[in-house]
Chains A and B, each alone.
Chain A
Amino acid sequence: MRAWLQHHRLSLAQTAARLAGSPFATTLNVLAIGVALALPFGGYCLLANLESLSRKVSVDPQLTVFLARDAAKVDVAAVETRLKGARGVRAVRFVSRDAALADLGRAGLEEVIASLPQNPLPDAFVVTLSASDPMLADRLELDFKSLPKVAYVQADSAWVRRLDALLRLGRTGVVLLSGLLGIALVAVTFNTIRLQILTQRDEIELCRLIGATHAYIRRPFFYLGSLLGLLGGLAALGIVATGLAILNRDLGALTQLYGADLRLSLPGPREMGVVLGSAAALGWLGAHLSVSRHLLGRGRK
């Protein structure tokens, strides 16, 4: 057990020394892996930020029910009762035509309003739904449209659904990109390990002659692959963090104009851990393929 641990420590130290011994080649390899991982990871970050933004905006799915202009007080009361009684409705707020006009006035349209002969706005209800469920919104929209003296129902969630569909498309894109560039990572480590095996051919053959087990000979290469993947993952995090910082600078100027506070942020430590872990695992896979291809089948040599 102690011997086993000692060899693991030794393999790791040797591998690290080997990587440090050829800094230029190591840097290039790590950068190649880093860039390959940064693309899907960066895409994922942008999507995650957009998603959290869309969640923030659409916390309260709403329907606005506009009444006909000739609706009397009795009609308004009848509609209100029906709205409040519908399943899936959390709150109903009445906006009278006068209140709506006053709102418009506050929004800076006083002059326009003053020039109108009469209030053109209808009475309306703002209905807040109990769940952000497009199906529910669709059903209630149809129901409310059929109520007497209801002129028009506007679903505020339509654009959220469109955004949702776009995000789904984005997610599929990120998954495809991750798959493709994951293969690229495996290919890069496969080739690096192949070259390393060729460089160390004498040492490998000698180790076999003096009684090294297969596991002993393969172990340093597994470490090399995993370490390359891990360093590439760190490079990817660095690249994405730098990219987000640059984007945030420009975004800051833009959001100031709109009076909003919007910043792109890196995902949490769990996601970053997943990126580093899968990078190391893919590096290990590349090493495994390369070692199986180039070292096995020479057992008796």
Chain B
Amino acid sequence: MAIISLHQVSKRYPGGFEALKVVSFSVERGEMLFLTGHSGAGKTTLLKLIAAIEHANGGTVLVNGQNVSSMRSAAIPYLRRNLGLVFQGQKLLYDRSVFDNVMLPLIVTGQPYREAARRARAALDKVGLLNREKANPVTLSGGEQQRLCVARAVVNRPAILLADEPTASLDAAYAHEIMEMFHAFHQVGVTVLVATHDQQLIGKYRKRVLTLDHGRLQ
């Protein structure tokens, strides 16, 4: 059964720029796939539509059987709790520790503190940052910061992981490390959708690849 399904979706930004033109595809539960295309092809827009950060102008976006395009704004937070988001330029909060950054999604969803702390440490352990839990994120390297973003995205055990250019600013070794993490999540049943233009990385995994070109799916 499809966990994400787009049907004839279009997105036009104010000013007339058409980011997506009649896009249709679906993603099976537990699948891992890549979304690629030149810069400005519409990869980010597509991920934003799935996470209800942007609104489609036409067509339907179904996530977990819910129609995101017609969702009440009060229901959006509950949709997002099922999504792990690793977005470009996603902010870490520098006024608190690494540990507190990972705790945030658990506190937002109202987990009891003890249980939340246990899960936050487990997530930090998974990305190899447990020994840095008290550090301020500003002291982490670029690769470590990205791993922290991944830990924060998966700490709530989301059903779907959406990543937008997660390896863009990383060297090859770090990029590989991050991608391995995503692959590991996929292997335990998480649906993973990674937008990237790094063909080398895509080539390493034999997964379905969606290619966008000027807003159209090839």
Contacts and interface: CB of A to CB of B under 8 A. Distances in A.
Interface of A: 2-4, 6-7, 10, 202-203, 205-214, 216, 299-301
Contact of B105 (A2, A10, A210): A210
Which of B104, B107, B156 counts the most A-chain CB atoms under 10 A from its CB?
Answer: B107
Contacts of B74: 213-214
B70 interface: no
Contact of B76 (A202, A206, A216, A299): A299
Given A211-B80, A213-B74, A206 B112 contact: no
Contacts of A208: 77, 80
B88 interface: no
Contact of A300 (B53, B81, B83, B93): B53
A203 B93 contact: yes
A120 to B, nearest CB: 89
B156 A6 contact: no
A4 B93 contact: no
A212 B107 CA distance: 9
The number of chain B residues touching the other chain, given as a range, is 20 to 34
Contacts of B81: 210-211
Given A207-B104, A208-B80, A212-B108, 16 more contacts: A3-B111, A6-B113, A7-B107, A7-B110, A205-B91, A206-B104, A209-B90, A210-B85, A211-B77, A211-B81, A211-B109, A214-B73, A299-B76, A300-B52, A300-B55, A300-B76
Nearest to A207: B108
B87 interface: yes
Contact of A4 (B104, B110, B111): B110
A3 B108 CA distance: 9
A156 B73 CA distance: 71
A4 B108 CA distance: 10
B117 to A, nearest CB: 13
A188 to B, nearest CB: 25
Contacts of B85: 209-210
B108 A210 contact: yes
B63 interface: no
A210 B156 contact: yes
B55, B87, B91, most chain A CB atoms within 10 A: B91
A200 to B, nearest CB: 9
18 contacts: A3-B111, A3-B112, A10-B107, A206-B91, A206-B104, A210-B104, A211-B77, A211-B80, A211-B105, A211-B156, A212-B77, A213-B77, A214-B77, A216-B108, A299-B76, A300-B55, A300-B76, A301-B53
A6 B112 contact: yes
A206 B73 CA distance: 16
A301 B110 CA distance: 22
A300 B73 contact: yes
A2 B111 CA distance: 9
B77 to A, nearest CB: 5
A2 to B, nearest CB: 7
Contacts of A4: 110
Interface in B116-158: 152, 156
A6 B81 CA distance: 19
Residue among B105, B111, B112 having the largest count of chain A Cβ atoms under 10 Å: B105
Nearest to A210: B105
B3 to A, nearest CB: 17
Contacts of B108: 207, 210-212, 216
B51 A209 contact: yes
A10 to B, nearest CB: 7
Interface in B25-73: 51-55, 73
B81 to A, nearest CB: 4
B54 A202 contact: no
A210 B85 CA distance: 8
A186 to B, nearest CB: 27
Contacts of A210: 80-81, 85, 104-105, 108, 152, 156
Contact of B87 (A207, A209, A299, A300): A209
B76 A209 contact: no
B68 to A, nearest CB: 10
Nearest to B105: A210
A4 B53 CA distance: 26
Contacts of A7: 107, 110
- Chain B CB count within 10 A is highest, among A202, A207, A211, A299, for A211
Contacts of A300: 52-55, 73, 76
